Structure 1
Amino acid sequence: MKGSEVQSSGLVMTEDDTVLAERLRRGDHEAMAELFGRYADPVYNFCFRRVASWNLAEDVMSQVFLEVWRARERAVAYGGSLMPWLYTVAENVCRNAARGARRQRALAGRLQLVRLVDAEDHADGVARRLDEESRMSELLVAVDRLSRRDRQILMLVAWDGLTYLQVAQALDIPVGTVRSRLSRARKRVAALMDEGEK
């Protein structure tokens, strides 16, 4: 039932996602394993760009695929790709995780908990990760100031690699609207990041 390899958004697929979605809706465990193998990395990166923490992104990615299994009857491939549907599921899980992480940070602040990193040989890696997370946090602050729709379109196209058509189908809006909102969102984020550097 597998077709020839297809290049889509930088991913090589061996079976059309429409067929994979059908198998998933039927409760095929192998289809779920295939889906995870195919999309774990992009979903992980998607999660990091929403929660700004590599560790939290790992946890959230796991939750995303659990939720995907629970919601498998609703699996739908837009334009032959399950990515828009996966990103919609991931967006909801990330939103909940970010809310929970904010509550944890607030609690930790109130309790004045101190987190120690005691392995010097990992200091460079820890410093790099903290720097990445700091930069991502600053970017997320800027992106958070966008309208919900502009933010969603920016993330789906610029960060997650969906095509304009896939985003238009997933959000049920015209392709031209995707283009104009994306342009507006990019300009606004650039301006906000410039303000933050001053």
Structure 2
Amino acid sequence: MTDFSLPNTDPELLQRFARGDQQAFAAIYGQYHSLIYNYLLKFTKDSTLAEDLLHDIFLKIWDARERVDIKVSFTAYLYGLARNTVITQLNRMNLYDAIRGEIMKDAELELHPRHLMNKVEAREYEELLQKAIDNLPPQRREAFILCRQQGKSYEEAATIMNISRNTLKQHLSLSVKSIKEYLLEHGNISLLLLLAFFS
């Protein structure tokens, strides 16, 4: 059982954090980093994933800093957020596994996923994909459009965007990841079969 009584976060530190004090946030991060990381690691069994989730959690509490009730146990709040975040991620990974199995099954039968979709489903997919693209930050969206929709090479797209090839690849990789996550959240299995063609 997790001990929510320790550490005891200084109320004044929490008040500074709630007002947007970045030094207070850094102090809270330092205080809780190892505890939350180890808590996540118990569930994920993956150090990289645990670290990624840890950063997501602290970004969430920073974004919600003005809404955090500093009168209740901050530790309990943080562990609750960590628990919900890791459960959501593990459920998402289970869904990825299910989708991957469906994709492999169809690949063995030499079926193109679009052939499994009727016109309504295809239109729904296109609309969902466009929403996912629209939700991307500007540079990731531009990288995705240039490379995946307009068919430009990394070099061409990097030149157009005035960035290095490696930076372009990073934007593209992050855009694909974001689109997959959006489709996983908002789509159904028949739509998600098309994820194979993002890889």
TM-score by length of 2: 0.44
Identify, as 1 or 2, the structure richer in helix: 2
